[in-house]
Structure 1
Amino acid sequence: MQKLMPIEDFTEVTQTAKIDRQAHGWRAKCLQRLIRLDLPVPKTVAIPAATVRAIAAGHPIDCKAILSYFGDDALVSVRPSPANPDWGGPATILNVGHNKARHDALVKRHGAQAANAISLRFIQSYATHVARLDPDMFEAKDPSPDAIRDALRVYALEMDEEFPEDPARQLADVLRSMARAWEGTTARLLRQAKGAPLEAPLGLVVQAMAQGMGQGISGSGVMQFVDPVTGQPQITGRYLGQGQGRDALKTAKALYLTRDPRGSSLEDIAPEIFATLIRHGAACRAKLREEMQIEFTIEDGHLAVLDAVRVQRSARASLRIAVALASDGVISAEEAVLRVEPRALSEMLHSQVDPRGPRDVVARGIAASPGAATGRIVFSSAAAQASASRGEACILVRRETAPEDIRGMHSAAAVLTERGGMTSHAAVIARGLGLPCVVGANLRLDPRDKRIHAEGRSFGEGDLITIDGTTGQVLAGAAEMLAPALDEHFQTLLGWADQFRDIGIRANADTPADAATARKFAAQGIGLCRTEHMFFEEDRLVVMREMIFADVSEDRAAALARLLPMQRADFVQLFEIMAGLPVCIRLFDPPLHEFLPHDREGMRELAEALDKPLSEVTRRVEALAEFNPMLGMRGVRLGVVLPEIYDMQAQAIFEATVEVARRGAAVVPEVMIPLVSAKREVELVKARIDAVAANVKIKAGREFDYKLGVMVETPRAALRAGEIAQHAAFLSFGTNDLTQMTYGLSRDDAGRFMNIYVQQGVFPEDPFHILDVEGVGELLLIGAERGRKTRPDLTLSICGEHGGNPESIEFCRRAGFDYVSCSPYRVPLARLAAAHLALNDRSMQAQTGHKIL
């Protein structure tokens, strides 16, 4: 006979008992805190994780000793108490200890109907969760004596024994069942999916039952004091008279807590108890420093608080709650900042599909850019522009997008593509524009018939769909939406974050609209302005093509002279919007073929526009085609071979600087040379830009300053940063192309196999999504070290897609970079992530006494 475990292996939960969260679980610790707040918590016993493991291994526990804490004839509940509430746990079992004698006593105390309901519920719960019998065999809902007899008969037939009457036996079976369920393979896998360690501990709590049934006011309910979706102060919850447990509240008979025009409520039935619950909620908020949901039971007018759990909440509710707690002095501003996950901010920057509404999902893909939008399907950029001109929201659907789709993306409410990954053209541009985007969707696009086919359903041009870029879902029709949450709570939290972070945050902004968005999100300047995006506007594209078809330098300069005032106006707008904040302008980068049509019809239209033979247009398009354009005639190579382009852009920048200065705003533009590989490239471009600056100063009769820097995108530039820094005031690492060239991967094509590579451990993460600190990161460190060795005051930054990733920001902080730059809609995330990193370092430094950075 096995020896019973000693009584020390379970502890009554009192104000002074030694209850530890790791040993006894979060629920046991929370109940102790409620007891310390003098809330009416029923008597509770906590069983630590070590004892639970022993029970699972077959060691018996003295259940009579546990039950002795509760007195004769008591009924108890058993609840799971893991160290973390998010890990879940086995189902709660109510009314343990119930038998015929208890039934008879309940009949006298609460009446036959209540006693029968308790009996049937316990038999059903015990049979399905402890004996593991099929719940369909115990379906009876009417708590009649016949239903109870049938349930007991079925149990006896299936188990070859009568239903246990001994309370100690019942409790032992319940404890063993819950302990072994926690140790099961399925439960372990589910916990691991939620981030729990393999050997996550489970405690159990045994609590005296508050029946929720009786002659007077009796029932069960849950109450919380904020809306879980918005975070606004609001009493919500349900109450069911003559009911037990949370499951009972799912019935349609459950009432709302506050006065409701549809019927009575707890506030109407028991106003004093309702007021007491509000006081208890306020006490929990103040002392537990959190918005809690209270589970309660009323028995014959007596209130019992069974549990309190952290209110489940959306990201927007989490932010509002954290700010409200800090504003009320319940928590510090530092803690409020740390309570909000940076990546969760994307939910607040855009409209979102309301989680409370229905969803008709027709396709799924990669959630490439957060937010949601409803619109009518269009299949071309021209159709998107036409839709926008009519004031109609549209969804641009493409097999995959290309640079010429920029205008259509600007006009669309969202983007959906059949192909692509997180770093495809559609994904990158959509994130920069703040457009909801789903890429790589499981649909088939038929461009000839202008239809998409997905999971047996078909949609044509003009059909209404909703794109949820946060979840990667495509929904039929118009979904219910939540507006962006850029309110005072959002601004307050990010204002606090700015006080704590120690690295600059700029935005990548290609247009005045982008710059306005960057200012709205409090970016500290523009870290990358890609000027080529300005040339895709219809009137500019024609002039750009004329320049491309010019045969001599003079003709190219003449065409570019027509673009000069347009560029100058763009830069004037940028400088004025940024109001003295730094603006880093990257000179022209893409290969020229991107500005030319690729199909026969487009070439014919271009021939008509330029008044040239179609054969000549075709020859020029073919001549400009490259086998590998991303490694071809682009970036600084264009500036060396066709210097008129950079001359025009430099003149536009400097003339805009003068114009804005005359209006009273001081501007020091930062001019950045892209795709540099050699010091000589910088020397050649710098000489011409300095000459342009001198000419503008003479003509304007006004002095101005500017900075010239280099965009480090090639491994060689990183390795030769020491000599390149001789001619550069700053180095900005373009991690998109630098990753491509370091790995020898195309970011547009790598999505075809990247998931397999990550799954098989070839790469720990997609290097286009999370910065590769080992390979690409080493090039950044080499470039930074060699550049600053030559020029100690050299400004360092990154401006690729990685600039908005918390992991990349952490790397840049530790490497001593001055700032990161990311798309405007990732600026809030970057600001908050930088604050998290600084605060965590401060906390670690306080614990160790050593400076982290």
Structure 2
Amino acid sequence: MKKFFYTFGNGEAEGKASMRDLLGGKGANLAEMNRIGVPVPPGVTITTDVCTLFTERGSEETMQMIWSDLEKSIHHIEQLTHTIFGDKENPCLVSVRSGARVSMPGMMDTILNLGLNDQAVEGLAKKTGNERFAWDSYRRFIQMYGDVVMGLKPESKEDIDPFEEIIEAKKEEKQVSCDNDLTTDDLKALVTAFKEAIYQRLGEHFPTDPWQQLKGAIEAVFKSWMNDRAILYRRLHQFPAEWGTAVNIQAMVFGNMGDNSATGVAFTRDAATGENLFNGEYLVNAQGEDVVAGTRTPQQITKIGSQRWAELQEVDEATRASQYPSLEEAMPKIYNELDAVQQRLEDHYCDMQDLEFTIQEGKLWILQTRNGKRTGPAMVKIALDLMDEGKITEKEAVMSVDPAKLDELLHPVFKQEAVAKAEQIGKGLPASPGAATGQVVFFADEVAKYEKAILVRIETSPEDLEGMHLAQGILTARGGMTSHAAVVARGMGKCCISGAGDIHINYKNRSFKAEGCEMKEGEWISIDGSTGLVYKGMVATKAPTVDGNFARLMAMSDKYSEMKVRTNADSPRDAQIARDFGAQGIGLCRTEHMFFDGERIKVMREMILAKDVEGRCKALNKLLPFQREDFEGILKAMEGYGVTIRLLDPPLHEFVPHQEAQQRELSEELGITMEEIQNTIHNLEEFNPMLGHRGCRLGNTYPEITEMQARAIIEATIQLKKEGVDARPEIMVPLIGTVKELEMQVDIIHATAKKVFEESGMEVDYQVGTMIEIPRAALTADKVAEVADFFSFGTNDLTQMTFGYSRDDVSKFLPIYLEKGLLKNDPFEVLDQEGVGQLVRMGTEKGRSTKPNLKVGICGEHGGEPSSVMFCNTVGMDYVSCSPYRVPIARLAAAHAMITQKKRVNETK
């Protein structure tokens, strides 16, 4: 029979730290702290298995199953506290708290002081000799129970909390500003008013039976696992709903018993900077959530922290010392005990700890400890400091840094004090991290007019590339995390928000409306690509600090990874940025991005509008030197590493002008009629361009395009060889579905290379491979590998075709799918390992069954997402490729993947 209850207290515990999946993080750590001698109030943890039962079987059946064990567990607490649950004279009071296996601060519910009623409060007052404390605890309990269990907590900021309304009215009546200034009689009046408010709103009385109270509290905590904010938090952090939460029932200790009592939160190191400085906040004569609620100004734990706080608040030293003394100054004995405990906890867990404590009449109790959340820079510093201090190994240091948090080191961010004062006017998807401030511009070709601009578009297209490059950031009303705007912005390292549906753009009026305000072209806005928030006006930013710790971490990561990290780059500048970040090659160079600058787009349009092969070749010969120059720069920037160059992929309609003024200008330049231009554009239009005339279909229909690009690549490589540069081109054929499509393109490339070799009298090495992005190509990969030198999985299109989703339209339904649990993750952001991943695995295995040494990589946006990188490592890929600014993330994720994989192998032996 399964064990559902695990007791702890008096230095003993049935559980331990390694049981966090069963006991939740809080329960496992409460047990562990007992084992190492930290003062913890006794209690019991109800396992996460019960939460699963609760979800599956409902409340009544679950509570019946566990009731007998629950009674025994409460008796355990009674014995250790010498109190009696439900007794009028010597009541046993408990807290009921959630505790998932991962920290979810503030997402679920807590009830304190449970067990009080009209008789028990009198007994508590008599027992403690502190009537005010007893009634303060009672009014807190009714408020928390009414909010959490009885459902009176406001659902939105606009709703009024009935309890807070009563408290504010009482404070106004008594002309006091703080709850602590209310008298015992005032608190008694609040209790009466609270109970009346509950009855008026719900038609039922506040429960007086402690066992009924306990049942309701346990049910409420289990239900809170599925509340909206918990669901959202799990979705954002990719935690599965199946995990469930534990429930911790713990004997109450009280920080609200007078001036020798307090409550607080502390960190063993600075969570913002990583500095090895014990810090935190506390409040005298307070309880529970008071420290974080903001109703009173908390005080600092350490003297140095208190002095730093005073400097920021511009409080003079005399005022600080008298009105806001640190715990170190106010209660030196307790501070020394707390300091010793925090050091013991950090030494034991070998990580920075976030702990909650209560001081009850001069006695210290620790209520919780957990690995503290921290910023990206702090995470790196703490990991390396702990390693240097000998507390963790180098491998453990690498594993302790979350790859996704490295984003915070690579992009500018807003100053928090500036954000607090800013006016929010919109919200979208945080498509590309960083912060940007600029003037609103609606058309890409007008961005250059402004020193700092935010390009605001309904959606972007390849034609907007130059404007995107010049802009400080990009904001789009449509599109998802892998839309054109998002993908290009990440590649550029640009801040971007996509899919901001509450922003309504009017190109004609050159304005957009959001949150009741209208922003016109030229007005200033600020966007935060890390949160998806849009602000009115200018918000101050600060540059990221990438110091020596960052370089040390990257070097350590490379020691433990076997899979290489390449970059997606379309220019020498991007290639150099990526190389500086440690990229070992280019996994995707998109040649279409090279055709939109200045004269190039005109020549490209000339080629498209040509009436015959001769005309197309004439235009392509003009494009050849541009292409050759681009390839020389990129290959040189990545000297010594492979550079995968994808041949032209998008449909030709993306290159032609769709506005009449541009068409007229083109007509005059090329000497052809408007009718001819418009007829060509009409003929190029397709119902579904994604599945239309693009990729290798273009090259096989118009082989002269492939010939020009192949010639440019080979000629660039020959020129670099003459200069002594080790250039390693890999020519990639896009969107093949059959091996014959690839064979035709390979024949064109080889024939072109042979011509160039004969003309130059020099040969160079090159490879020809393909992008696997159509399911049929993955299913027939054994045949494809007979022709290809390498595979590169284009998981963006492979995901589109496997799911049948358009990534540019997915924002219309994807949020609803995620909310309703139809999908666990955005498949364009996190690789779908069950479906798309199996095609990747199959394609890799089939390809290598034909060609054992086949080089395999991934170049979709998933190449920079940590869990997807982990999957690529298990498949046995040679490399992943991602945007330049995600290279460090992928490098660390690759190290995590290999360390984890080897650990699993060793565990199975």
Match of 2:94 in 1: 78
Which residue identity does 1:256 align to in structure 2? Q
Aligned residue in 1 for 2:889: 829
Contact 2:256 2:284 in 1 (8 A): no
Q: Percent identity?
A: 37
Please say if 1:247 is aligned against 2:244: no
Change in CA separation of 1:60 and 1:528 when aligned onto 2, cut-off 3 Å: closer
What is the CA-CA distance between 1:447 and the residue it aligns to? 0.8
Q: CA deviation at 1:220?
A: 4.0
Gaps in structure 1 of 5+ consecutive residues: 1-7, 108-114, 161-168
Match of 2:786 among 715, 720, 726: 726
Name the structure 2 match of 1:283: 344
Match of residue 384 from structure 1: 447
C-alpha displacement of 1:544? 2.4
Aligned residue in 2 for 1:322: 383
Q: 3-state DSSP class of the match of 2:786?
A: helix
Residue 426 in structure 1 maps to residue 485 in structure 2: yes
Distance in 2 between residues matched to 1:782 and 1:171, nearest whole Å: 59
- Residue 645 (structure 2) pairs with residue 585 (structure 1): yes
Map 1:295-374 → 2, pairs under 5 A: 295-297=356-358, 305=366, 307-353=368-414, 357-358=419-420, 360-374=423-437
Q: In structure 2, the residue corresponding to 1:565 is in which secondary structure?
A: helix
Q: Report deviation, 1:522.
A: 1.7
**Once the two structures are superposed, what CA deviation does each residue of 1:540-597 show, in whole Å capped at 9, x if it has no partner?**
2223233334455555444433333332222222122213111111122333332221
Q: How does 1:249-648 map to 2 (within 5 A)?
A: 250-257=294-301, 258=303, 259-260=306-307, 261=310, 262=315, 263-264=320-321, 265-266=325-326, 267-270=328-331, 274=335, 277-297=338-358, 305=366, 307-353=368-414, 357-358=419-420, 360-387=423-450, 392-441=451-500, 442-481=502-541, 483-484=543-544, 486-551=546-611, 553=613, 555-648=615-708
C-alpha spacing 1:143/1:54, structure 2 compared with 1 (3 Å):
farther
- 1:92 has 2:108 as partner: no
Gaps of 5+ in 2: 51-61, 84-88, 153-161, 172-178, 200-207, 235-239
Query: Helix, strand or coil for the counterpart of 1:524?
Result: coil
CA contact (8 A) 1:710 1:728 kept: yes
SS at 1:231 equivalent: coil
Return the alpha-carbon distance in structure 2 between the equivalents of residues 80 and 751 of structure 1.
Answer: 39
Deviates more, 1:117-126 or 1:27-36: 27-36
- Normalised to the residue count of structure 2, the TM-score between the two structures is 0.79
Q: Output the CA distance in 2 between the equivalents of 1:31 and 1:713.
A: 50
Which amino acid is 2:267 matched to? Q
The answer to whether the 8 Å contact 2:7/2:73 transfers is no
Match of 1:165 in 2: none
Change (3 A) 1:208 1:744: closer
Does the 8 Å CA contact 1:119/1:148 hold for their aligned counterparts? no
Structure 2 counterparts to residues 738-757 of structure 1, below 5 A: 738-742=798-802, 746-754=806-814
Distance 1:324 1:567, change over 3 A: same
What displacement does 1:399 show?
Answer: 1.6
> Structure 2 residue aligned with 1:128, among 135, 143, 146?
143
> Of 206, 221, 239, which aligns to 1:182?
221
Deviations 1:437-483 (A, max 9, x none): 22232221111110101232111101111222333322222335454
What's the counterpart of residue 155 of structure 2? Answer: none
Please state how far the C-alpha of 1:535 moved relative to its aligned partner. Answer: 1.2
| Residues 621 and 309 (structure 1), Cα distance of their counterparts in 2 relative to 1, 3 Å cut | closer
Aligned to 1:238: 281
Q: Is the 8 A contact 1:370 1:470 kept in 2?
A: yes
Counterpart Cα distance in 1 of 2:195 and 2:661: 81
Q: 1:349 to 1:152 in 2, by over 3 A?
A: closer
The equivalent of 2:904 in structure 1 is: 844
1:339 CA drift (Å): 3.6
1:658 aligns with 2:718: yes
Superposed CA offset, 1:642-668 (max 9, x none): 444333322322232233333333222
C-alpha distance in structure 2 between counterparts of 1:727 and 1:26, whole Å:
53
The whole-number CA distance in structure 1 between the counterparts of 2:818 and 2:7 is 47
CA gap of 1:26–1:531, structure 2 versus 1, over 3 A, is: closer
CA separation in 2, counterparts of 1:89 and 1:456? Answer: 34
- Structure 1 residues 446, 700: CA separation in 2 closer, same or farther (over 3 Å shift)? same
Change (3 A) 1:117 1:384: farther
1:538 CA displacement: 0.8
- Find the counterpart in structure 1 of residue 9 from structure 2: 13
Once the two structures are TM-superposed, the CA of residue 82 in structure 1 deviates from its matched residue by: 4.5
Structure 1 letter corresponding to 2:896: H
Of 419-428 and 407-416, more deviation after overlay is shown by: 419-428
Cα deviation per residue 1:129-152 (whole Å; 9 max; x = unaligned)? 458796355656334353255457
1:552–1:751 Cα change, 3 Å: same
Report the equivalent of 2:203: none
Specify whether residues 288 and 669 from structure 1 end up closer, same or farther in structure 2 by C-alpha distance, changes over 3 A only. Answer: same
Letter in 2 for 1:350: H
Q: Return closer, same or farther for 1:612/1:843 CA change in 2, 3 Å cut-off.
A: same
In structure 1, how many angstroms separate the alpha carbons of the residues matched to 2:230 and 2:357?
27
Equivalent residue in structure 2 for 1:800, among 860, 863, 866: 860
Deviation, 1:502, is 3.4
* 1:47 matches 2:44: yes
Q: Which residue of 2 aligns with 1:206?
A: 251
Please give the residue correspondences for 1:94-173 in structure 2 after superposition, counting only pairs within 5 Å: 103=125, 115=130, 117-129=132-144, 135=163, 139=170, 141=179, 142-148=181-187, 150-151=189-190
Contact map agreement 2:115 2:210 (CA 8 A) in 1: no
| Root-mean-square deviation (Å) | 4.0
SS at match of 1:727: coil
Deviations 1:151-208 (A, max 9, x none): 5766898999xxxxxxxx9976765553343355787776666456486431312155
Query: Separation in 1 of the partners of 2:823 and 2:28?
Result: 41
Describe the shift of the 1:186–1:531 C-alpha distance in structure 2 as closer, same or farther (beyond 3 A).
closer
Larger Rg computed on CA atoms: 1
CA distance in 2, matches of 1:630, 1:650: 24
Compare 179-188 and 398-407 and name the one that shifted more: 179-188
CA distance 1:841–1:785, shift in 2 (3 Å): closer
Q: Deviations over 1:821-849 (max 9, x none)?
A: 23223333333333333333333223322
Counterpart Cα distance in 2 of 1:206 and 1:323: 38
Deviates more, 1:799-808 or 1:93-102: 93-102
Q: Residue 221 in 1 paired to residue 264 in 2? A: yes
Moved more, 291-300 or 96-105: 96-105
What is the CA-CA distance between 1:285 and the residue it aligns to? 1.2
Deviation of 1:720 (Å): 4.8
Equivalent residue pairs, number: 819
CA apart distance, 1:515? 0.9
- Find the residue that maps to 2:726 and give its secondary structure: coil
Deviation string 1:110-135 (CA, Å, 9 cap, x unpaired) is xxxxx454233123124334587963
Q: CA deviation at 1:783?
A: 4.1
**2:205 is matched with which residue?**
none
**3-state DSSP of counterpart to 2:111:** coil
What TM-score, normalized by structure 1, do the two folds share? 0.84
Which amino acid is 1:144 matched to? T
* Matched-pair contact (CA < 8 Å) for 2:98–2:109: yes
**Equivalent residues of 1:368, 1:472 under 8 A apart:** yes
Partner Cα distance (1:737, 1:48) in 2: 47
Q: Distance in 1 between matches of 2:495 and 2:408?
A: 11
